[in-house]
Amino acid sequence: MPAGEEITLFGVPTQALFGQLLIGLINGAFYALLSLGLSVIFGLLNIINFAHGAQYMMGAFAAYFLLQWAGLGYWASLLVAPIAIGVVGIVIERTMLKRLYHLDHLYGLLLTFGVALVIEGVFRNEFGSSGLPYGIPSQLTGSYNLGFMFLPKYRAWVVLFSLAVCVATWYVIERTKLGAYLRAATENPTLVQAFGINVPRMITLTYGFGVALAALAGVLAAPIYQVNPLMGANMIIVVFAVVVIGGMGSIVGSIVTGFGLGVVEGFTKVFYPEASSTVIFVIMALVLLVRPAGLFGRTA
């Protein structure tokens, strides 16, 4: 793209425009990863995992602890932290959520809300509200000069890597046999169980996987935002709106709307900064008027 520092687009310097576009893509990557995890969980368990933000925060903290206590760096954390937090999720599912499946699904929401309060309270008690620093891995420091802007390597990595994770998740669920079981169990768990599939175990693992996705997002976020006990609480409400817009339980919907809304939010910061924190909610209201089930959702 032939552009220089002095060139403007719609009266905005291109540098600012692309800078915000990049920030939008980064936010979008986190929205997509988090809403994808929520969608996977919602699809099978029919609960909104209110603890998702807390689990995202725990992922970032896990990366921080692994570095401080075990000397494990970023790359190891990228694998170990999601597994560890995923196991925490499995424990939550086995000990608590499991008991609520026969009740109204709202109780699952309330339970995970309580769990989120406890987790966030404990972390806030231990670490206060200020952030802890977490460095960018040495391989990804610095930035590319694209001519019209500088692209920090780590940010490019976050966008590409989360996109890859999203596509891989989509592939597994929509195109493999395991995914077929999962989708079948979403439609009719009793029948799938009658065919000899261990549905309760599948539910447990699905919850663990969704939580692991949240933790993975947390590890990715740690070098960009600081590791902060409240990082999840601030994020999760926006992600809920993203999920509503995309259509709850829709895999493609959460990926596309996640990235898309991140970009929309970034552009809003350029053209009308006052609305940047509300724009997603305004879009949500408009989408609900036209398509109550969300952009990609099946009618409930």
Q: What are phi and psi of 296, to 5 degrees?
A: -115, 5
Spell out, one character per residue from 29 to 68, where the chain touches another protein: x when CB under 8 A holds, - when not: -------------x---xxx--------------------
Task: Report how many residues bind another protein under the rule CB under 8 A.
Answer: 45
Toward another protein, which CB reaches closer, 119 or 159? 119
The region that residue 85 occupies, defined by phi over 0 for left and psi between -120 and 50 for alpha, beta otherwise, is: alpha
Q: Which of 30, 240, 267, 296 binds another protein (CB under 8 A)?
A: 240
CA separation, residue 216 to residues 61, 85, 123, 170 (Å): 11, 9, 18, 16
Which residues, listed in sequence order, are joined to residue 132 by a DSSP beta bridge? 227
Q: Which two tokens stand for residue 220?
A: 């990715």
CA 256 to chain centre: 12
Report the C-alpha gap between 214 and 34 in whole angstroms: 5
From the list 78-86, 133-141, 235-243, 258-266, the region that binds another protein by CB under 8 A is 235-243
Question: Among residue numbers 261 through 290, which ones bind another protein (CB under 8 A)?
Answer: 274, 277-278, 281-282, 284-285, 288-289
Question: Among residue numbers 81 through 120, which ones bind another protein (CB under 8 A)?
Answer: 96, 99-100, 103-107, 109-111, 113-120
Among the listed residues 165, 174, 138, 143, the one whose alpha carbon sits nearest the alpha carbon of residue 251: 174
Smallest separation (angstroms) from another protein to the CB of 107: 5
Spell out, one character per residue from 116 to 145, where the chain touches another protein: x when CB under 8 A holds, - when not: xxxxxxx-xx--------------------
- Write out 175-230 in H/E/C secondary structure: HCHHHHHHHHHHHCHHHHHHCCCCHHHHHHHHHHHHHHHHHHHHHHHCCCCCECCC
Toward another protein, which CB reaches closer, 213 or 244? 244
* Residues that bind another protein in the complex, under the rule CB under 8 A: 42, 46-48, 96, 99-100, 103-107, 109-111, 113-122, 124-125, 237-238, 240-241, 243-244, 248, 274, 277-278, 281-282, 284-285, 288-289, 292, 300
